[in-house]
Amino acid sequence: MNKSIIILTLIINMVSFVFPTGMNSRFAAGNEHYENGDYQKALEVYLEIAENTSNWKLFYNIGNSYFKTGDIVRSKINYLKAERLNPFDKSVEQNIRIADELLDNRVRLPDPDYITRTLMRFESFLTINTLSVLTLIILLILLFFIFRLFRAGRSKIHIYGILISLTLLLLLFTYHIHRVNSFHRNNQAVIVVSNSQLRSGPGEDNTILFEINPGVTIRIVDEHRNWVQVTASSEIAGWIEIKNIEKISIQ
Amino acid sequence: MKLYLTLILILVSILPLGSADVEFSASVDSEIIGLEDYLVYTITFKGIQNPVPPDITGIGDFNVIQTSRSSEFKFINGVSSSYVNFLYYLTPLKEGELLIPPLKYVHNNNVFKTQGFKIVAVKGSIKKTAPQKRRSLFDLDEDLSPFNSFRSAPQEIDVKLRALISKKKALIGEQLIYRILLYSRNRIESVNLISGQSFPGFWQEWYPVRKSIDGVSEVLEGKNYQVYEIRKAALFPSKMGELLIPSVRFELSLSDNSFSFFSTPRRITRSTNSIRIHVENLSANSENFPVGRLDITVKPEKHSIDINELLSIKIEVKGFGNIKTLKIPEFSSGKSFKVFPSKITRKINYKDNGIFGNVIAEVPVSFKEPGIVKIPSLEYKYYDPLESKLKVIKSRELSISVTGVREEYTSDLNHVSGGIAKIGTDIDFIMKGSIYDQKRFVYRSILFRVILVVIFAGVLSFFIYEYFIKSYILGNKKYRKKKSVQSLLKKLDGLKEYGDVFQIIEEYLEVKTGIRRSEISKSRIEDLFYSSGINKNDTEEFLRIRTETELSRFSHSTIKTISQLRIEITDLKNLIKRIDLKLK
């Protein structure tokens, strides 16, 4: 009886960890405001949810709300956040394109090559949570084989079982670490200040190479104090003050 | 034969020495000089290798400003001669007829004597002053000797640094020229800046340091100096009030040393003077505008373009001023065209009278409709410090002929599932349904961690049991013996037939005493119990029960009721507890 209560508590804890209570009702309320044309109110509700939650649908709707209230740059930032959490979603991609069109932005980061794109598609399918559960299952399989080896004695099936599951476990564990790290690494940003200048080095003494408009997506290459080295396209690169950009970070 | 050859070799080697006559002579380059001139007095030794410098203390009417030594080896008509020259650079101390007395020199007990000279010194200078020629500092290939072109070198160190500014009253942003001049009467080999060159309150643009610096002659406080401009910068005051340009320190290497024949560089340090500047703000209507003399031009890449092409328009602002901070005016997108982010390049030229340069913005422009598109002129404002007024200049209006048909923005999206209904200009649909926190990963949940901890604890326990408990505790004899009685008592509690007692007793004895079951007999038990100090009654009672339970397995006459069995077993348990305490 006691054991059942403990397991139930843990499951509830896990569910409430991923699905905080009341979040969906507030999300629905935000959607209602949006559909009634009260975009500002909808935005307020969405932003309140976003203080503790990161979800691609939420960011998508925040982007739409900003779009409706006329802040296209913020709109694009949120679409990019949605894209990070749900890559290759056609709706998100399309809205980014619309925002770029309205921002008159034709500066584009180079498209990823075929291999990178395939890898990205694979990663969007195999989420970090799936990977965590898979790693745990493989760990249990490995332990089962080890236990059998001790109890039932050495046999081919036990030895191969241990070797295969151990290899799989190591691969999955390493890949898990890589995925978590790459999720938290935010090297994408958007220019948010008008007439931001890209310079040849970190510091105002360096030559101005480009003046760049808000809304342009950039990739951060390096950081030095309050300056970041960025690339905006295959031809546009330089150093920019960090206050002129907003990183696409999932807090 | 060998002897002849040796003699010939010795003679050949001795001959040149024998032919080199010893001579000691003196000469002057002029017999009339001005008081501001110098005279080169040369003493030549011929045929003496490595002579001691002659004593010239007798020359009282002249000041020796520099000495030098040279040597040469000549072959004339097959006869070799070695010469060593000592050169003395003398300046007359007074006007009139002066005397350079004859000098004596003793070599191998022979006394040699030079002739004396009468020199007439007149006022001023009668020689063409060498330093009049522009010469190069640091350009050592041209002039290794300090006296070839710069013969007024004094024996004392006389080097000064001066900092100059083009204006002591300036406006914020106005270009000022800051120069550091080196005044020297010595030969300078190198100049190194050893202090900082950052001036608070100024935007600075230092001119590149030249490899070779030309010097000019200048008379300062009655002395003739070579003057070199060693550093130069354009300064742009960035705040108003009294600003101080601090002194700048240099290390100089001098190559001349009048007290040595062999010139060795000597290092000295000198600082410039500090300068105070009064900076005023621009007039209220001119604030935040660039200061200088500037001009703007706007040129399109071409005047006719296809509607689907991008036109590059070059906006250039050029002139004197702080080029690095100049901002280019921007076009705003119009009804018929869109303006994209521009590429900006800056070029600076360092002129004598200040920094001159240009800033070029290449602005890509796209067009929305065909026809003649007018791009309005750009207005540019700057403050001209020479005319002390704000100037407004305008570029010319551009007229671009746009041809072709605009390709509409196309989308590859035809799906509705994603929520986009209208394509191109509006966003009406939102995402619905449930959401969850995507950054809250399962591996961070308590359940996941608990599972991991349980697995870890399980694995650890398993290995502890397998490698420690099993081997060292359960396998231990003492433990097993101790456990045997508990096991026995437990088994007795669960007993249902009297006959089974025998098996349990036998098992107990085997574990407890180590005697194999087949070797257990009445006499063996008696001996064992006796040796363990168990009293006789207990031994007899134990043997009775053993015999009785053994027989009960085969004889129904000994069958007992459950209550009888419990009483018997209780007695037996007490008996075994007493025996177990003493049994070895």
Per-residue pLDDT of A31-75, as tens digits, reads: 999 888 898 999 999 999 998 888 999 999 999 999 888 888 999
Chain A neighbours among B 359-398 (CB < 8 Å)?
Answer: 361, 364
Which pLDDT belongs to residue B374? 87
Q: pTM for the full model?
A: 0.41
Q: What is the CA radius of gyration of chain B?
A: 57
- Higher model confidence: residue A165 or residue B105? A165
Tell me which residue has tokens 């990823």: A112
Residue B130 has a CB neighbour count (10 Å cut-off) of 16
User: With contacts defined as CB-CB under 8 Å, which chain B residues touch A209?
Assistant: 343-345
- The contacts of residue B112 (CB under 8 Å, 6+ apart) are B22, B23, B24, B104, B105, B106
Residues of chain B with pLDDT under 70: 1-21, 49, 66, 71-81, 127-155, 211-212, 256-265, 308, 341-343, 406-428, 475, 477, 481, 553-562, 584
Interface A-B: count of C-beta contacts within 8 A = 155
Calpha distance A196→A211 (Å, rounded): 6
State the angle between helix axes of A56-68 and A23-35 in degrees (0 to 180), rounded to the nearest 10: 30
Calpha distance B268→B252 (Å, rounded): 5
Which pLDDT belongs to residue A244? 92
Alpha carbon of B536: minimum distance to chain A alpha carbons (Å) = 48
Question: One-letter amino acid identity for B481?
Answer: K
Provide the greatest CA pair distance for chain B. 169
Tokens of A121: 């598609």
DSSP 8-state secondary structure symbol assigned to residue B130 = G
Which pLDDT belongs to residue A78? 94
Instruction: Let me know if B87 is exposed, middle or buried by CB neighbors in 10 A (0-12, 13-18, 19+).
Output: middle
Calpha distance A46→A62 (Å, rounded): 6
Mean of per-residue pLDDT scores for chain A: 86
Q: What is the CA radius of gyration of chain A?
A: 24
Chain B neighbours among A 72-101 (CB < 8 Å)?
Answer: 85, 89-92, 94-95, 97-98, 101
Q: Are A102 and A117 in contact (CB under 8 A)?
A: no
Which pLDDT belongs to residue B190? 77
Contact status of A67 with chain B (Cβ, < 8 Å): yes
Identify which of B357, B366, B318 has the alpha carbon closest to the alpha carbon of residue B338.
Answer: B366
3-class DSSP state for residue A161?
helix
Q: How confident is the model at residue A135 (pLDDT cuts 50, 70, 90)?
A: very high
Identify which of B29, B31, B42 has the alpha carbon closest to the alpha carbon of residue B118.
Answer: B31
Alpha carbon of B324: minimum distance to chain A alpha carbons (Å) = 7
Chain B neighbours among A 8-47 (CB < 8 Å)?
Answer: 10-11, 13-14, 17-20, 23-24, 27-28, 31, 34-35
User: With contacts defined as CB-CB under 8 Å, which chain B residues touch A20?
Assistant: 437
Which pLDDT belongs to residue A44? 94
Query: CA separation (Å) from B91 to A87, B34, B127, B286?
Result: 91, 9, 12, 61
Identify which of B396, B393, B342 has the alpha carbon closest to the alpha carbon of residue B365.
Answer: B342
Contact status of B443 with chain A (Cβ, < 8 Å): yes
Which pLDDT belongs to residue B264? 55
Identify which of B516, B510, B503 has the alpha carbon closest to the alpha carbon of residue B484.
Answer: B510
User: With contacts defined as CB-CB under 8 Å, which chain B residues touch A195?
Assistant: 330
Chain A neighbours among B 316-345 (CB < 8 Å)?
Answer: 324, 328, 330, 333, 338-345
Domain A188-247 has CATH 2.30.30.40: yes
Q: Are B544 and B496 in contact (CB under 8 A)?
A: no
Select from A49, A98, A132 the Cβ nearest to the Cβ of B441: A132
User: With contacts defined as CB-CB under 8 Å, which chain B residues touch A11?
Assistant: 447
User: How many alpha carbons lie under 13 Å from residue B500 in its C-beta half-sphere?
Assistant: 10
Verify whether the Cβ–Cβ distance B341 to A210 is below 8 Å: yes
Domain A2-102 has CATH 1.25.40.10: yes
Question: One-letter amino acid identity for B123?
Answer: K
Preferred mutation among B308, B317, B420, B437 to probe A, highest tally of A CBs within 10 A:
B437
Alpha carbon of B420: minimum distance to chain A alpha carbons (Å) = 6
Verify whether the Cβ–Cβ distance B462 to A150 is below 8 Å: yes
Alpha carbon of B556: minimum distance to chain A alpha carbons (Å) = 44
Contact status of A53 with chain B (Cβ, < 8 Å): yes
Identify which of B351, B296, B380, B391 has the alpha carbon closest to the alpha carbon of residue B175.
Answer: B351
Preferred mutation among B342, B412, B427, B464 to probe A, highest tally of A CBs within 10 A:
B427
Compare all CA atoms of chain B with the CA of A206 and give the residue at the minimum distance. B324
Query: CA separation (Å) from A176 to A40, B243, B452?
Result: 39, 60, 16
- Higher model confidence: residue B344 or residue A94? A94
Which pLDDT belongs to residue B40? 83
Contact status of A177 with chain B (Cβ, < 8 Å): no
Helix (H) or strand (E) holding A198: strand A196-199
Calpha distance A78→A251 (Å, rounded): 13
Which pLDDT belongs to residue A239? 92
Instruction: Let me know if B30 is exposed, middle or buried by CB neighbors in 10 A (0-12, 13-18, 19+).
Output: middle
Q: Are B163 and B180 in contact (CB under 8 A)?
A: yes
User: In this predicted complex, what is the ipTM?
Assistant: 0.80
Instruction: Let me know if B128 is exposed, middle or buried by CB neighbors in 10 A (0-12, 13-18, 19+).
Output: exposed
Identify which of B104, B103, B73, B70 has the alpha carbon closest to the alpha carbon of residue B84.
Answer: B70
Which pLDDT belongs to residue B422? 35
